[in-house]
Structure 1
């Protein structure tokens, strides 16, 4: 990898944070509160902390020397079968991007432009996505930095629901069984989706073996952020209202008032655009990167094809039921990919390394 394509290990924090801060805080499923009620924040905390193990596994597999998931697949399964698995992984990143993209469009249609058609918003955003991804990975890294700063600024707004909240809504603590908490953790994965792109952009990080702390810090800060957002929702809404409220966090923003602006939720939604774009762009960039590695397609050509297919599929999700079904499907395959496939790869990686060590001894 050429030096001018690399980014400092410090920027992994921003890449991880921005990848997860996309649509999760706004579009998290009400099923989290349905399964675990006032203990929903515990479920979010459990899932966030468990991702540190996945980050550790990724760094163990891809460090020394730095490689990506394509190299890992080829090392474990051979060139042909490994490239086949890598092409299948494109489907996961594509679906993740589709989930983030369509959920944000749904939010815009519900709260701002209810009469605007899906294809109109899709064309507008896809032009922006093409422009950003064409700039390369370093441009996306800078965008992630800007997104993180925006997220920290918006996060301060949770002061208002906490100030007006009812602490009794959090009681009693740990009033649900472990299976119920784990079910809620599973459906809350939508808030954390996106960090898996680390498997693809791993070789773009300088001195990567020494920079794992920044990836862990990104996961930790995001976990604490989502826990705080969950608690603020629990403090403000009663359980019955919370389970039937679409996008609770946006509902909270309606109580925020400033002398110089009346509809703060509109500004909030457009600011969230800055936060959702990096997650979306990094996922689509991962698709183009894999195609470049395993096929003769050039990135710009593959980007045009991917975005064309992306647009065709997006406009098919033209009602809320289809959007919800897409969200459930994406969360399910995300859970299996992160907590089943990545650990399985790690086991096969250890077996492969042990076999090579034995051959070297012989």
Structure 2
């Protein structure tokens, strides 16, 4: 039942580090502090830490389900639910990955329109970006992996900029610690996962493309640790830099901090920051759209050269429907909520069903 991937299409298990990290660092980084701060204030960093730790359990579940024998979630669905029901459930994942990529895509365009080009038409910038996306995704999984590598390097370089904001922060803003009930901290962790950490689920699709899947688990967990460290550092600097009252009414705290930076050769450094951020945002879209084409090919036999143009066209017109701030924000919240249910609801359910099936077949 398992679909074998040819060796020349596989990548080293080491690159799962870049794939997972690149799929998690995206547009949510620019605004997540305000969302989690609204519940836990100066304890927001604790919620973020709990969110990152909890995801290690999900990664462990994925590796347990898919490692022996090596397969993807499509094979797993067929094993648990049967061929026809399994394929139907797999096709539902196309919708999930599509709306996730749309949320990231439209969110970035909104930032560009607000901060850089207020008069630009949505359709024009969407068309240019989608042509780039189409070109990279048609290159295949190995090309996408290479782009993820450069995205991680770029995001790590930009993280150094936090040092300049930290110098103007106040450590007192982090105090007192543990000043909120456990329920509020957990609720804030839920928002953190939905906005920041979802995206790594594409591992369910590209898992068979990894060499030495068993040994790659350490790189998957390392990616989560690295992501969590970055988010923790960014959260702490943000809490130090902004007063509580100001942060509550700041929608893009990271861009506000970047705008405050002054360099001799650049008067509007946030323009450069946002331009480079495109490299960091794109991998999550690449992986999601590639996963859509992969599922369609595995279930229906339709080649990506036929399915991808349709998917990209659907994204284009869907982007035009999200034509104001309220719609974009509401859509983003729905996708984040759906991502939470998928990660902490469906994946554990699949894990339980998988082990019940394995136990009965012995």
Superposition TM-score tier, normalisation by shorter sequence = over 0.9
Q: Please state how far the C-alpha of 1:30 moved relative to its aligned partner.
A: 2.0
Note if 1:68 corresponds to 2:72: yes
Q: Please state how far the C-alpha of 1:27 moved relative to its aligned partner.
A: 3.5
- The answer (yes or no) to whether the contact 2:56–2:221 under 8 Å persists in 1 is yes
Task: Give structure 1 stretches of 5+ with no counterpart.
Answer: 358-362
* SS state at 1:257 partner: coil
2:50 is matched with: 46
- The answer (yes or no) to whether the contact 1:164–1:236 under 8 Å persists in 2 is yes
1:282 is matched with: 287
2:26 is matched with: 22
Task: Give structure 2 stretches of 5+ with no counterpart.
Answer: none
- The answer (yes or no) to whether the contact 2:10–2:210 under 8 Å persists in 1 is yes
Residues 99-145 of structure 1, C-alpha deviations (whole Å, 9 max, x = no match): 11111011101100011121111101000000000000000000000
Q: How far apart, in 2, do the equivalents of 1:270 and 1:191 lie?
A: 20
- The answer (yes or no) to whether the contact 1:24–1:192 under 8 Å persists in 2 is no
Q: How far apart, in 1, do the equivalents of 2:329 and 2:26 lie?
A: 17
Q: Please state how far the C-alpha of 1:24 moved relative to its aligned partner.
A: 2.4
Residues 59-84 of structure 1, C-alpha deviations (whole Å, 9 max, x = no match): 00000111000000000000000001
Q: How far apart, in 2, do the equivalents of 1:81 and 1:254 lie?
A: 51
2:261 is matched with: 256
Q: How far apart, in 2, do the equivalents of 1:65 and 1:202 lie?
A: 11
* SS state at 2:350 partner: helix
Note if 1:196 corresponds to 2:197: no
- The answer (yes or no) to whether the contact 1:242–1:248 under 8 Å persists in 2 is yes
Structure 1 segments, 4+ long, off by >3 Å, are none
1:2 is matched with: 6
2:319 is matched with: 314
- Give the alignment of 1:208-223 within 5 angstroms: 208-223=213-228
Q: Please state how far the C-alpha of 1:29 moved relative to its aligned partner.
A: 6.1
* SS state at 2:340 partner: helix
Q: How far apart, in 1, do the equivalents of 2:90 and 2:158 lie?
A: 37
Aligned CA RMSD, in angstroms, stands at 0.9
Q: How far apart, in 2, do the equivalents of 1:146 and 1:338 lie?
A: 27
Q: Please state how far the C-alpha of 1:296 moved relative to its aligned partner.
A: 2.7
User: Under a length normalisation based on structure 1, what TM-score does the superposition of the two structures give?
Assistant: 0.97
- The answer (yes or no) to whether the contact 1:48–1:220 under 8 Å persists in 2 is yes
Note if 1:84 corresponds to 2:76: no
Match of 2:104 among 96, 100, 104: 100
Q: How far apart, in 2, do the equivalents of 1:218 and 1:210 lie?
A: 14
User: Under a length normalisation based on structure 2, what TM-score does the superposition of the two structures give?
Assistant: 0.97
- Give the alignment of 1:235-274 within 5 angstroms: 235-274=240-279
Q: How far apart, in 2, do the equivalents of 1:27 and 1:183 lie?
A: 17
Q: How far apart, in 2, do the equivalents of 1:39 and 1:204 lie?
A: 40
Q: How far apart, in 2, do the equivalents of 1:232 and 1:94 lie?
A: 33
Q: How far apart, in 2, do the equivalents of 1:220 and 1:24 lie?
A: 18
Count of aligned positions: 357
